[in-house]
Amino acid sequence: MGEWFIKELKTLGEILVFLVPAIPMTIKITLMAFAFALALGLFVGLSRVSPNKIFSIPSRIYVDVIRGIPLLVQIFFIYFGLGKILNLNQFVAGVAAVSICYSAYLGEIVRSGIQAIHKGQFEAAFSLGMTPVQTMRHVILPQAFPIVLPSVSNEFIATLKDSSLVSMIGLRELTRAGREYYSQYFVTFETWFVVGLIYLGMTFVLSRLASWMERRFRVHGWGMG
Amino acid sequence: MIIQVKDVVKRFGDLRALDGVSCTIEAGEVVIVLGPSGSGKSTFMRCLNGLEKVDSGVVIVDGMRLDHSKSDLRRIRQTIGIVFQQFNLFPHLTAMENLTLAQKVVLGRKPDEAREIALELLKKVGLSEKQDVHPAHLSGGQQQRVAIARSLAMKPKIMLFDEPTSALDPEMIGEVLEVMRDLAREGMTMVVVTHEMGFAREVGDRILFMDQGRIVEEGRIEEVLKNPKEERTREFLSKVLKG
């Protein structure tokens, strides 16, 4: 029993050493994709609530289409479809696909956050002569931020997990490295156990960070009174 | 005259919230708008600063015709301040920041100048010691006084008050009316929707009585209160004066 245990630990250690170099790629994909998704999502969300149909209708269609297609299919479509025409490498195609997919979800979160703000806030800002852009920037978005924070951090964690899907187009991130290891050594259970554990570790850190931010904004907050 | 309203119609679906409203208001006048709920008082006020777009008719404020072009709307809103029943302070900003935000982004005042003006106004409404407090930590009456100061910081020529004390606990009404009384004394042009008849009688120059989207009676305050010509006015006054 003891011998088996030590051998097992050694295997797990070897797997970990093999996988660790792939972690930065997972982090890189996650951070870049989420940053783009946030920027795009903010634009999509603002367009959704725009009184101007030139913005609101296309953004609505965008959200419906993107949300209705599995991320894996979008990754394949962008890499194998568009990628061949536009000559995209795996990294660009992967990050683009994840960004686009998550921008639709984040767009909806931004929309709901803006719509949660009482219309009196818009009226007060307009009555002081502020333009719609100034109103959004100085009055509405700062109030929407703490409201959407929990949902946005959920999406961040989901982005990290879904970054594993880009392994399917051959980008060597954590999940891809796991596949490489087990196809070489055939230790299926242990490999995916360690891969899962690493993801869990990263998402754990993120969710702690998220609750810290939520607390911080509640403490420094203004009670919505 | 500083405000001229002619044949204004405003519909919400099938409802004619304003059904041909005409009136003029002179500079320095304090006009009290009375009427049962749903009579169009709020809509009337909101049409004066362009929060609602009129379906037909003309609104001219300080020589500018409100035509809902963006630049005109902004200029008119800098001419007219409005105070809402629900205060509508910005909850994420301190009292001071509530007063300085629009000064900086709309009027382009320097931060120091904006703070100086803000502090002076907070003093005027008796809240200079609350400058760093967020609205959630102020009482209703204090919030409404900050809201009045926020409007005044834009140096408006006209102030609209849309039931400014209706959301307040009774013991806080006085402090808000006091601030409004001071403003009237300084010669501010004011249009006030209120049921505070004591205040109306003391401060108001003229009454507009509205019912079903129309101004059914207008005149000097004492005259209308003593001898209302219209049956509807009489009925309404007998109710509010009793209460």
In angstroms and rounded to an integer, the radius of gyration of the C-alpha atoms of chain A is 21
- Contact (CB, 8 A) for A223 and B136: yes
Chain A CB within 8 Å of residue B161 CB:
no
Q: Closest Cα of chain B to A162: distance in Å? A: 34
Query: A121 contacts in B (CB within 8 Å)?
Result: 88, 90
* Chain B partners within 8 Å of A52 (Cβ): none
pLDDT band at A221 (very low <50, low <70, confident <90, very high): low
CA distances from A188 to A108, A143, A185, A200 (A): 39, 48, 8, 18
Is the CB of B130 inside 8 Å of chain A's CB atoms?
A: no
Q: How many domains does chain A have?
A: 1
- A134/B86 touch (CB, cutoff 8 Å), yes or no: no
Taking only the tens place, the pLDDT of each residue in B85-104 is 999 999 999 999 999 999 99
A221 falls within a domain: no
CA distance A17 to B56: 75
CA of A138: which chain B residue's CA is closest? B101
Q: Is the pLDDT of residue A166 over 90?
A: yes
Spatial distance between the Cα atoms of A14 and B16, rounded to a whole number of angstroms: 78
**Residue B32 pLDDT:** 96
Asked, for residue A151, whether it belongs to a domain, the answer is yes
Domain-embedded: residue A222: no
Task: Tell me the per-residue pLDDT of A144-155, one tens digit each, with 9 for 90 and over.
Answer: 999 999 999 999
Is residue A158 one of the residues assigned to a domain? yes
The pair of structure tokens assigned to B25 is: 């208001």
Is position A209 within any domain?
yes
Parallel, antiparallel, or unpaired: how do β-strands B189-193 and B30-34 relate? parallel
* Residue A105 in domain: yes
**pTM exceeds 0.90 for this model:** no
Q: Residue B75's closest chain A neighbor by CA?
A: A129
The predicted-structure confidence for A12-40, as pLDDT tens digits, reads as follows 999 999 999 999 999 999 999 999 999 99
| Chain B residues 188-217 within an 8 A CB cutoff of chain A | none
A84 in any annotated domain? yes
Residue A91 structural domain: 2-216
| Residue A224 resides in a domain | no
